[in-house]
Chain A
Amino acid sequence: MKVGDLSVYIDMSLLKPFSKLPALNAATILLVEREERFQQNLADALVGDTTVTVNVRLAKSLPLPMDNEESRPRIDLVVFIINLTSELSLKSAEASLKYLDPGYFLGKVCFLATNARNTSVPTERLDAMRKLAASLHCPLLFAEDQTPDGVNSATERLLTVLKVAAGLVPTATALYLSSLTRCTIPPDIDQPSFE
């Protein structure tokens, strides 16, 4: 495949952060969740915010279908919702990453993990999650998806990150916020201690 084709391929389905002009006092957030359950509650809570008109786009995975390319507003923040009790949820999120323009990874992507406290979550998956977020310098938020307060607190935190990512907060840029909140892991995370 010649480089030319490659670029066409990449360009075609790649989601770009600055390909369109932003709307006035509005922000658009894309929630990507394989299970398509928590994202619905989050969406209903997010659009409730009165200070900013929030547009929510819901998707099961990337790439997004081409045909509603024109009608889709510029996406300011991409949130990958990962249900830690399902291996498939993490794999599907990982597979979607390659459809994001590198520009997104400067503070416009964040991971939201649910069911982290569930004991059926093997520690290896939790570490893989943290390593993925750390390697992409993205923040890793944890949320409780079963209770309404869990949904509300997750919505609050997403709204703050979204407002910064959409440039609606004069004093902070997306990159600056992500450098403060990005996930880090201890250096010896890989070293097994039960030899």
Chain B
Amino acid sequence: MDDFGRRLLQRLVRRTPAQALKATLGKWERLTVAQRQSVDFTQPKVAVMEQLVAIFEENGWTVKHITELEMINYMENANRGMWHAFQMTDPKDDANAVEMMQFKEQFKSHLSELVRHVSVKIKKHTDEALWIRIAWGDSYSPPNHLKPTYVVHHLQTPYVFVTSLNSKQKPFLVQALILSTGYQGIKDANLSGQKLTAIRDLLMKQYQQIFPSKYNSPLTEKNETVSNPHIEREQSEHASKRLQMACEAFGDGIVPQLQTAVYKLETKFRGDANTNRTMTKREGPFRCLVKFASTNLLESFRECASSGIASTPVSPLLSSITLKGRNYFVVTENGLPSSQT
């Protein structure tokens, strides 16, 4: 195995916890059961590394196989680095009929036409998502496997999620995607985060939403905890109304684990009219950047709304995170409904 392969494998072994590495090897059909048993994961990483190198050399596997292993590993724990969401726009009528094989061939051919040395690997994940690993080279240098770009695309949907893509490579990727999916444009979805599953579930609405309905909403049944007959909550309807509005705005039960939301405010100053009279009359915008952060942002907002820290109905700025599937907003004077003052 050449030392570049060795460096690549070493980086993979070093970065992945033993258990995860074991699971990844399990999923990688190339290894026979015997070979897999032979690797002892309890030993320190260096020893594990040597055993793997021996197996690779024994089977004469090359860098290609190592990158395959790395891709499987990445697909299993993708919640690292920063994922950005894009949405493809104005689909041609056959956009919905794109089939995997067809997409695979077209994407590879288009991309290799645009960039001379590029290595593309496409795999289908258990949840029908298409994973694309791109190692970029250029006319002089071979594909750089140390900094691959990962792209996740769900066929028949306009959504694409990308990580570690630089601005130079972006136009090529966009071109290849458009040509092979039957869409004609692409736009930034203003949604990014560390947890791929979170931003995907938010954008593709894969979480429990609460809608107004005629019947007694399941929420109120859930938390009518049987309490002591002597204890009576006076404002229980207010509380349940707040909870209903909170869940309608931020989802019910397990919600996508978004961690940040950023608002760039460029609206006029909106203090209380009497104390800051001069400011409210001021012409220019009151520019400020507001960043919300929490281990589970939607849950935090939901509790703010249900506990009354945030007054309900929830501000359209906050509820548009789930409505529009975004977590980056530039709010200008017209962007804000006038009724907001």
Contacts and interface: CB of A to CB of B under 8 A. Distances in A.
A contacts B: CB pair < 8 Å: yes
Interface stretch (A52-60, A105-113, A115-123, A138-146): A52-60
A44 interface: yes
Interface string A54-72: 1111111000110010001
Interface in B201-257: 228, 230-235, 237-239
B234 A47 contact: no
Given A34-B308, A35-B307, A36-B307, A59 B234 contact: yes
A84 interface: no
A30 B234 CA distance: 9
B235 A59 contact: yes
B238 A60 contact: yes
B234 A58 contact: yes
Contacts of A35: 307
A55 B308 contact: no
Contacts of B307: 35-36
B308 A44 contact: no
A99 to B, nearest CB: 12
Nearest to A86: B309
A56 B234 contact: no
Contacts of B228: 43-44, 47
A5 to B, nearest CB: 26
**By CB atoms of chain A within 10 A, which of B235, B238, B309 has the most?**
B235
Interface residues of B, number: 13
Interface string A31-58: 0001110000001100100000111111
Nearest to B225: A40
Contact of B230 (A34, A36, A47, A64): A47
B233 to A, nearest CB: 5
Interface string B306-341: 011100000000000000000000000000000000
Given A34-B308, A35-B307, A36-B307, A56 B237 contact: no
A156 B235 CA distance: 26
B234 A55 contact: no
A36 B236 CA distance: 11
Interface of A: 30, 34-36, 43-44, 47, 53-60, 64-65, 68, 72, 88
Interface of B: 228, 230-235, 237-239, 307-309
Given A58-B232, A59-B235, A88-B309, 7 more contacts: A34-B308, A47-B228, A55-B230, A56-B232, A59-B234, A64-B235, A68-B234
24 contacts: A34-B308, A36-B239, A36-B307, A43-B228, A43-B231, A47-B228, A47-B231, A53-B230, A55-B232, A56-B230, A56-B231, A56-B232, A58-B231, A58-B232, A58-B233, A58-B234, A59-B234, A59-B235, A60-B238, A60-B239, A60-B308, A65-B235, A68-B232, A72-B232
